[in-house]
Amino acid sequence: MPGNPEEPPHVSTTAPASRAAEVLARPITLNGLTVPNRIVMAPMTRQFSPGGIPGEDVVSYYSRRAAAGVGLIVTEGTYVGHESAGQSDRVPRFHGAEQLAGWAKVAEGVHAAGGTIVPQLWHIGMVREQGQPPFADAPAVGPSGLRIGSDEVTGTAMTQRDLDDVIGAFAEAAAAAERIGFDGVELHGAHGYLLDQFLYAGTNRRTDAYGGDAVARTKFAAEIVAAVRETVSPEFPIIFRYSQWKQDVYGARLAETPEELEAILTPLAAAGVDVFHASTRRYWLPEFEDTGSDLNLAGWTKKLTGKQTITVGSVGLDGDFLKGFRGEGAPLKGIDDLLDSLERDEFDMVAVGRALLQDPEWAAKVLAGRVEELAPYDAAALRSLS
């Protein structure tokens, strides 16, 4: 692509309403779930659930966006039932009677608003800081006890019993999701958290069956997928989110070539993944420039696996999301190029993050061509649940 690859293409901030509606408003079926359109709310961690229990404000937060045209909600990351899974008592959990009762109300609210919803099931692994809630005595665990970007062992390398316990926790959370009315699940295998720590050679130094080459490093995540697949109904969609980049190591890569990526994704697809959610920081960047292809990570994922894919990364905005954590906003960016890729079936759905924090009505406005009503992103949106 011409110009600075870090900058978005120079495209109009307006797409004709008819085109946006034609491309984005098409229904899509993910395994046994029909989603009314191609717009996904991206998972964004929100610490507004004291005791890990989502309340009525969380119900309203998600339902409002479903009512305004988001076809599929992927919730913020929710901790599975393993004591080392998280490090905040305000991030929601997907285990426990009160927590699940709260989530059941969220699912009910989203359905009443016309949307569909899946929880993102999450274990942070070695990102955990010792002594943090909700279980202060729980150790940080990972494939080799290593944090991203460090060769110092500061945590616990997981034993087979640890692995089995976490596999069981994901399966139990998925079963609970189906039981209380959710439409599928997303497994968080991205951004340097536990599943990604196994996939990434920089944090997985194991010499047993769970470490070694790219295929061996997928074994733990594939076993989680298979356990979830066995626990839920055959038509219940399983989404797997993954990324090349990691927390604080944005240049990290699971795969340098399409062949390496195929080796990683194939076992996950075979284990039961229906949809891959390919997380990038800027959706318009080609993933493997040396190939001469403009396909992004979601595009390559679909080409290599044949599975449906979701793209994500600064949709609707010009500016990296990490700047938001430093209090910086972002100007608007058009989506004409995104619609081009969707029309070419390079990927199937589009996940929107900050733009939906800024404006719960984003989907309705874009679908109706009311882009003049959109506002630039203000980082203050991170601090409220509106």
Give SS3 for 331: coil
Kindly report the number of other CB atoms within 10 A of residue 291's CB atom: 12
**Catalytic hit among 62, 79, 193, 210:** 193
Helices (H), 154-252: 160-179, 194-199, 214-217, 219-231
Cα(297)–Cα(245) distance, integer angstroms: 11
Torsion on CA atoms 361, 364, 367, 371, rounded to nearest 10: -40
Strands, DSSP E only, in 175-315?
185-191, 238-246, 275-279, 308-312
Q: What share of the chain is helix, strand, coil (3-state, %, to 5)?
A: 35, 15, 45
Give SS3 for 197: helix
Single-letter amino acid, residue 105: K
Annotated active-site residue 193? The verdict is: yes
Q: What are the DSSP calls for 16-31, one per residue?
A: -HHHHHHHHS--EEET
Instruction: Give residue for tokens 């010792």.
Output: 130
Question: CB-based contacts of 161: which residues, under 8 Å, 6+ apart?
Answer: none
CA distances from 111 to 73, 191, 255, 261, 363 (A): 10, 29, 38, 36, 17
Contact 166, 224 (CB under 8 A): yes
Q: What are the DSSP calls for 134-151, one per residue?
A: SSTTPPPEESSSB-TT--
Contact 224, 195 (CB under 8 A): yes
Contact 187, 124 (CB under 8 A): no
Q: Closest by alpha carbon to 43, among 250, 232, 267, 243?
A: 243
Contact 118, 111 (CB under 8 A): no
Residues labelled catalytic? 193
